[in-house]
A and B are shown apart, each in its own frame.
Chain A
């Protein structure tokens, strides 16, 4: 509720208003002299009607507003409007006067209000005129909690009283009061605060309407939970459910009061959101019932919990202050407490089992649900009107009206009895209150969509802190309240059809699900995925330090929830044949291709990303740990199938075909957003797969423009775009798995790889592993094949690949686990081995017969080998890269080099083929030719010059192989550059002459 104190100050410019305030004292009680005793009664709060306020505060101590039941009653009794929203409007009176003393939406506890009311005079005397100075900007910290996600902020009011009744302790309030004396808070309020606390409303109706839930109980239970929950309960609970649990480090650890520590941290870092794991609610015996209540009646229970949270924040702060905790002594402590009072606290429950969003049905309406999905669209931040501010054009009386179920009731007439003009109330926009809102469309993820079905979509409404937390493309786990609202036939008509619209009001969201591979966290900006709140938010928690500390329960939860799976995975990892098992399980329908599968498997595990922490800018360069794999081979050898399979289990996997995709599809482009009409950057496959695997089929069919982008992606791991005036570099830290067909669709064994694929050598060399997948020609194989094919026509059941394989989800879980948990370090032994292997590869190029060198390995290969070794260690769940890892990676490298870099003319391995496209044999041939040409030029006619064609002919005569004119030209060009020869004339009349200077 807007603070009246703010009212005059912000309205200074408004002469009319000023007039009004002075002339009509009653209706503008908050006029410059704010100490008017009447001001409470006349506060233009949402309730708007002073008479009712009075009614509430004086005549009915048991405030009818304090229960939903009562609220409804009031709603009906209110003569002017039948909307129940008035009920909640009554609360803000005191926050206006003492923003610091009014806790949240429930801020104005009746007790306090009453206390204040009765102390009007002393209060005024005590702090005449000082208040505006002290709290001039209080509206910004509006202590009224109006949670967008919990529509029924109306139910807030009823909640507050039972809490007091339930908790029944005056002591804390005393402290609030006493602190207050040192603060800017009016000292007079303190005694009044505590005085009437005890004897209140024992027989109030506290149940949630239509249920047996007792709100007082609920609040008390939650209070107990926060103050009493210990880690050990969770451990016991998990054990009860048959989950494996982590052994606690010490008995003290189990005794830790988890949520109290969270609350302290919230105070320290100024956080106002507390994430509450609902499993913990169920785990704590006294609050077990609360779990069910929270699921069924979040609308009522959540605000109650919010209130408890705020009370406890205060309580804890006072306790700490008394105990003299560091940072809470003296003035600091008071400031802290004042700060807490001015804040709105929210709990954000999570931890329900997620349901498929197409399974949401009418029975879930108004219940707490948890769904997963992919964000496909998010609106810009929408200012959501929370409180409308109306002013009477006739008498300048002002009224505030709160939003109710998405609409605002415009007052038809001036509520002031004296005025009561009809149709004079006009809205004053800049005095209305707004909150952030955003509508997100969440689509089912491909893995959740039943076979052959199209994905469904659901709307999410997110509010306040959760706005702009997620971006299109993110995967979310969302906890929220499922809503159904009637659809009007016509927005201007009151008639409704029987149709309802559904959406989810989000109370908690978490990025990324654990189903697929977790994306590499090092690829997300530090603090980039900011999800507000303290307390076990799981992945994406921005602050590293926080993460470590608070993961007690989170880790606990993860440990227990997936303990079984994890134990199983660990057990699996101990199997001696794990490597074979995993590679066999990868695309089991494709037989053979063992090494290819192994290479891809290691790609999925990936090496570790390294960045040099100290250095210029953002911590120096980052060395990629991503392994890139290229498959080249005949058509019909299941390359595409392998790619599709990888796409299925890969993190942020994107599958694209080089043929269809232009640079646009693979990178990013600038487009005009249909909603906002703004130019926005739309990500392409590579950016979307940041931190994942990008599978590119028909790599060779890709356009040159796209390919040039890939150069950057594969080494720098960024994508730069300059379009429509936007120049930016996007991260594309992705592994690339590509498949290419050879030129002419059939691989020519007599040619080198680079000649077989239509790809520049520079791009090929950026792949860590290159596999040739060729169609084997074999007689017995043919017979088996024929048998197999014919049998397909006879039998219905297709042959399965292997006997002992891991199911897809387990394989995926295994990889996820390894990727997220294991960051192996290279041991000294392994390091030495790496060096040794590298030297071996290098040496393989040395030829004792000649002094020229083939290039068999470059530093790129060394880097690849390191990455592969790391991936292999990860695959074994080993924290260290050991000898065996290096040996296997060396073997894989050698295999890949064997197939990819073998010179078909000599049969020798030559990395130069891949790096420059020129093999050693070719170089040697050129060398020989060069010698011969020089010899010819040395001869008698050298100085006069030889005819181009003659030289060529002469060489042909000497050579045992055909001389390619192109090769010849290359050699001549070289000689020319070196200044040994000179070419004169054009075309056929070209003459080659010995250069004068040449000796």
Chain B
């Protein structure tokens, strides 16, 4: 009757933990034993799905105390110092995992050889995760419309002011935390309690949700699709085209080329850091400002979040720049989040269209610099006292601006928007106004785009020769062509091939990509 035992583990994880402890003679690697036991217990997907989910619909208040939950979160602050706990209490009982024993008093002799280490991290629900992705990963949410608790630590979430879930993670097994870095996403399964903050030494402590992690997994963490797509009724070419049409029609006033550029940017990821091949940053210029009265959120953000898994929008205004903090900063040994502390693979829409005149203060300048750094070198500096640490990011940026180029940012590619209709309100439709494609087509869009993001491209020797020759020829004709052009074109060509769900870059694709770039250049002049 194994299934019943496993259910027991969901109902009363503490008990199974204690049982495990009692049956264990050698305590040296107990935390690893726990990890192994529980991850094996929930190895089957059906059993894993049974674990209650901690998310915005089911916040910590919706779970019983010391209940087992799974939480898909982004590591926000891994800098909290480690904690020590007594694995075996003086009374012979199990310690750690938040287990309290009121009868254990200070004066009992403490056997220091039973001390173990546990890592304390702060994690938040994944910022920028789109609704459909959440649903797919968490399963149909049994939205028990319980009151969203106001997080007591709003400074720990990148999107200041947004409802979110923040959890203090306690990682007991050494292997769990080795690989966890800031902005990493993982699914944590553990016992949910409410405890004081580990680090703070302040007098007025409040309790925070604390997850005593049993095991960490990458399962149910990311939506994944195969590359190249196979076995669907749609061919990749037709899906691509209808996606482009839909996006152009709904979000870009019918501009197909602009839609193509948006899609290429949206599927770009950081390839390597040495040498640096980063996702290109895109500016869509001449983007009309929002008509007065309507929302300043461009429809593009909404449309992208229907097909992408991680999308985020920064509505840049002078006020926004001056008041928000883009870089994470450690204050009093608490790492405050910044708007740009986003998980890898996020597509960031930077909407400059609502910008008005005003004075950018020092903070604003720092923020501009931070975002520019993300665009050009895919790094984000975290400020620590007396030192700055830069962390790699993987964020594709799409800047929307009114003028010929962005007021603040330098991007790799600038595409002027050629709207088919002159009605700017088309660009600022609300979610309800968007015409959704049929569900199966939308699913195909998602398969196509998520798959393309994970693809890899090969370039054969012949094609590379061809490209080299092409470059030399181009320079003969036009000396103004630079190495930057070559690099940009190669990036575009690779993305173009990915967008076709092709595994090899061919001369044909190269030419198509080049003509796309040519058309863009003509538009700009």
**Residues of A with Cβ closer than 8 Å to B?**
82, 358, 361-363, 365-366, 374, 376-377, 441, 443, 445-446, 449, 452-458, 472-473, 484, 486, 488-489, 494-502, 636, 655, 657, 659-660, 662, 664, 674, 688, 782-783, 785-787, 789-794, 796, 798
Contact = CB atoms under 8 A, between A and B. Distances in A.
Given A452-B391, A660-B365, A787-B468, A366 B386 contact: no
B277 interface: yes
Contacts of B412: none
Contacts of A660: 365-366, 369
Interface stretch (B9-17, B101-109, B133-141, B424-432): B101-109
B27 interface: no
Nearest to A657: B369
Contacts of B333: 376-377, 441, 457
28 contacts: A361-B117, A376-B384, A376-B386, A446-B387, A446-B389, A452-B391, A452-B392, A454-B78, A454-B182, A454-B330, A455-B79, A495-B100, A495-B104, A496-B105, A498-B86, A500-B115, A502-B81, A636-B484, A782-B472, A786-B468, A787-B468, A790-B467, A790-B490, A792-B277, A793-B464, A794-B461, A796-B272, A798-B275
Contact of B105 (A377, A494, A794): A494
B302 interface: no
Given A472-B386, A495-B100, A456 B332 contact: no
Given A498-B95, A500-B86, A786 B365 contact: no
Given A494-B105, A496-B106, A790 B389 contact: no
A69 B87 CA distance: 26
A789 B484 CA distance: 10
| Residue of A454, A457, A502, A791 ringed by the most chain B CB atoms within 10 A | A454
B359 interface: no
B83 A500 contact: yes
A914 to B, nearest CB: 29
Given A452-B391, A786-B486, A489 B100 contact: yes
Contacts of B116: 362
A443 B486 contact: no
Nearest to B87: A498
Nearest to A777: B479
Given A365-B115, A446-B387, A789 B335 contact: no
Contacts of B42: none
Nearest to B331: A674
B102 to A, nearest CB: 5
Contacts of B99: 498
Nearest to A452: B181
B81 A456 contact: yes
B105 A484 contact: no
A794 B490 CA distance: 11
Of all A-B residue pairs in the complex, the 9 with the closest CB atoms, nearest first, are A498-B95, A362-B115, A500-B84, A454-B79, A376-B385, A498-B86, A660-B369, A495-B102, A452-B181
B277 A782 contact: no
A496 B104 contact: yes
Contacts of B391: 452
A117 B440 CA distance: 100
Nearest to B170: A499
Given A365-B115, A455-B389, A496-B105, A792 B275 contact: yes
Contacts of A501: 83-84
A457 B81 contact: yes
Contacts of A496: 104-106
Contacts of B394: none
A502 B84 contact: yes
Contacts of B297: none
A133 to B, nearest CB: 45
Given A498-B89, A786-B483, A798-B275, A664 B362 contact: yes
Interface in B326-381: 330, 332-333, 335, 362, 365-366, 369
Contacts of A361: 117
A822 B521 CA distance: 58
B77 interface: yes
B262 to A, nearest CB: 23
Interface residues of B, number: 65
B519 interface: no
A497 B212 CA distance: 14
B463 to A, nearest CB: 9
Nearest to A782: B475
Contact of A457 (B77, B79, B107): B79
A984 B89 CA distance: 99
Contacts of B83: 499-502
A782 B104 CA distance: 75
B384 A455 contact: yes
Interface in B450-502: 459, 461, 464, 467-468, 471-472, 475, 483-484, 486-487, 490, 494
A472 B85 contact: no
B332 A674 contact: yes
A798 B274 CA distance: 7
Contact of B181 (A453, A657, A793): A453
| Residue of B103, B105, B494 ringed by the most chain A CB atoms within 10 A | B105
A786 B471 contact: yes
A943 B425 CA distance: 72
Given A443-B386, A452-B181, 19 more contacts: A362-B116, A365-B115, A376-B386, A445-B387, A453-B181, A494-B105, A494-B106, A498-B104, A655-B388, A660-B366, A660-B369, A664-B362, A787-B468, A789-B483, A790-B467, A790-B468, A790-B486, A792-B275, A792-B277
Given A664-B362, A793-B490, A484 B115 contact: yes
Contacts of B81: 456-458, 502
Interface in B311-336: 330, 332-333, 335
B106 A358 contact: no
A659 B84 contact: no
B85 A500 contact: yes
A446 B461 CA distance: 42
Contacts of B102: 495
Contacts of B459: 790, 793-794
A657 B365 CA distance: 11
Interface in B97-153: 99-107, 110, 112-113, 115-117
B448 interface: no
A820 to B, nearest CB: 22
Contacts of A495: 100-105
A511 to B, nearest CB: 15
B485 to A, nearest CB: 11
Contacts of B115: 362-363, 365, 484, 500
Contacts of B472: 782-783, 786
B82 interface: yes
A456 B335 CA distance: 11
Nearest to B112: A365
A662 B369 contact: no
Contact of A454 (B105, B369, B382, B484): B382
Given A786-B472, A793-B494, A449 B487 contact: no
A660 B372 CA distance: 11
B96 interface: yes
A494 B106 CA distance: 6
Nearest to A491: B203
Given A362-B115, A454-B77, A496-B105, A377 B385 contact: yes
Contacts of B330: 454
B182 A688 contact: no
Contacts of A363: 113, 115
A502 B117 CA distance: 10
Contacts of A782: 472, 475, 483
Contacts of B106: 486, 488, 494, 496
B362 A443 contact: no
B372 to A, nearest CB: 9
B85 A499 contact: yes
| Residue of B102, B335, B494 ringed by the most chain A CB atoms within 10 A | B102
A499 B486 contact: no
